Structure 1
């Protein structure tokens, strides 16, 4: 053999084929000093006997691989020449030869080149199983196992970390990569809880805030701490990591701290999560209820608690019970019922957010039936609506109005519409005196209305020209009022249609035009309707509490 290394390579390859591992038992190198010579004694890895270093701690319940195998080879340099020679001392083994050496401590040792490959692939975040496949591709006879890959990765990370602990190294990495993170300490030296997330995750959380999954991994990490994982869902059903938290323990206090940090990532109150999915971890469920109490309303079965304020109703429910939930828009409350009976109501603090019916179960194979109106409800909604109407009507009737309010509305209507005689009879004790100018226009408008209602439209227009000659200059203003009342969109036909439109409509338009000539009128549109008419129009635009339109004609027909 040319060199010492050539001898080792040959011996180990032959031993590998036979099914055992050859190791160097003893060796030396000639240095020129007396008694030193180059040689190498090679034997089986199972040669010799196990020797305990500390005899005080000898255990009798363990075994050893050592069995005193006699296999020996002696190698030394050739005398008077170059190269090495090998002499077989004993070529026997006293143990059964292995069929394969995969996973063997010696056979699976990593070479320097293989360690470099593992370090490079670890930096690139390659998974251990893929690293092992790469090594097998480079060396088909490799006996390395996945455990040795993990050990090599751990050794590499330890070399990078240096004297720092795992947690100290993690904190440095978070600072270096500019992650958003919070932590709190125990005894001012030990990290108790730690939350962190990537800056891009904050943008994703605020853009895709509908659904989030929260779960814990139960200490299956190098820090030996529970890892709380926050995962978001995009509208395209893709997932993203929203944040992570290492906790001292899986207690409600620790989880609440992490959830509060997570809630702080959302920049707007109306962009908070709509749905939070967890497993059956009671501590996590209670923490979610604590942090997002203003976003959740529900009825808990085991304790009968309505948790939109943790109000205890004492009404629990079991298998076979029929539970109902609804929204009372008149009082802005959620109400819950059991077996057709109303249990209680809680305030609706979610009016500006989407509402999603949700049912939570605590064990597998639970079965339930949901009714969204496809069949009659156990709870009598019609009776409930009737009771709510009576409550609302009672509240309305309890509202007290000063007689001056109705008096002023009717007075303003008579004055606006030009009913002079009725106004003078009604306004026996005027609440506020009217000016001479108002009296004058009231007389004019009353005369014009009587002429038009009697069918004398030409006489009415003649009086308008006589009393208000500016109609020639601003005649388009009268057209506007006629357009408003009659809905005609052709100005050239407006005066022709004035003789054909209903007399009441024409009278109202002329009355509005005369009122618009008042220099004290701030806006022209104010002369179209009296305060009473505007109030009735506003009521008509409103909805009743039961969702129906308010119609003035319908209200008066009820009372007739």
Structure 2
């Protein structure tokens, strides 16, 4: 079996960079950017300007606005206002929010039998409860949520969206001068994306490309996006860009293999622009051995990330000789829940819909969510090695780490013979070393049924408690694949 090397080197152009620079001034003359909102009267100007002031008690209201934008009047939302479409409603509220100085998000939607929106709630982006978005107490991530109640409700009546409930009081200060930085107001247009793609392929640095856009637009304030948005787009584009001939060569290879053996399975997932997003393949041998040795599968994406940022994702099992066997492999553009759901569903289809009895992965949250969706009946185990590898990082700051804490933790994990014994040992560990406030240990205890050996004794694991089988399979691939291997070179 050939190992498909799906990595493409970008050709270096010998054309002088001066010939490749885009005339941004001409380009931006034709680009459309939102024009600054102009007030209709000096009195309205004063009212709008005062909105951004932080109220003494942290409460801000949005007074009535009547601002002209491209000849249209923007006024404060009122019950009974009607809009011809959901897009028109969204555009209106975003323009209103931008002038007032708050972000917008869709809180709730309800669709009818025809799958069109019948009811929608739009609200302030700072609505909702503040939640800790990371378990790392040493480096907490700030949150902007303040449980703000500002919102509008709209119901579709006779083909039009009518505002039914209005609440314009915010519990935080408003910032009209910072509105353009809010996520809902930042957008990289298709024309700008094309320019960024061309310059990236030509080797022009992002700071130079963005600087040209700024000059052409007449200043930062006239761009509806930030340099960060441009960098995020290019990072994503590189994930999907296989280079000239790469995707075609891959497809030709798959077709050739399927002609030789109808049992060869391959599926390519393309984005809306026809660029490769994800790919999965498995040869007939892998599909056949899964019928006999598919009880336990390990899945890992840490092995190799190529120059396009596409992690290599092999499915690995073990046969009756204790040897690692490859059960299919994929390349994915991102490690989110949606991508893993696609990959797992594709693999399950390839294997005739037979789900594994058990699956071992690392602690990736997106993987766990996808497994719940695709393999609800499979027993999920977290790699014990990956968990215990973090012990020094998470606990070495305690004075008692080397004097007994580490050994007590390992003894609790490995030597407990029953669930009751583990619970008793864990409580003793937490109490003895005063670890009640350790967020990492709290998260581990919550998921103890997925990684502590004593909770997993009732399931067959083929002698595996880690993703080491995937790691050993990675050593095999080292002889064929590296991060700069060219897909087209391999296929040819």
Specify if TM > 0.5: no
Larger RCO, structures 1/2 (Cα 8 Å, 6+ apart): 2
TM-score, length basis structure 2: 0.29
- Structure number, greater radius of gyration: 1
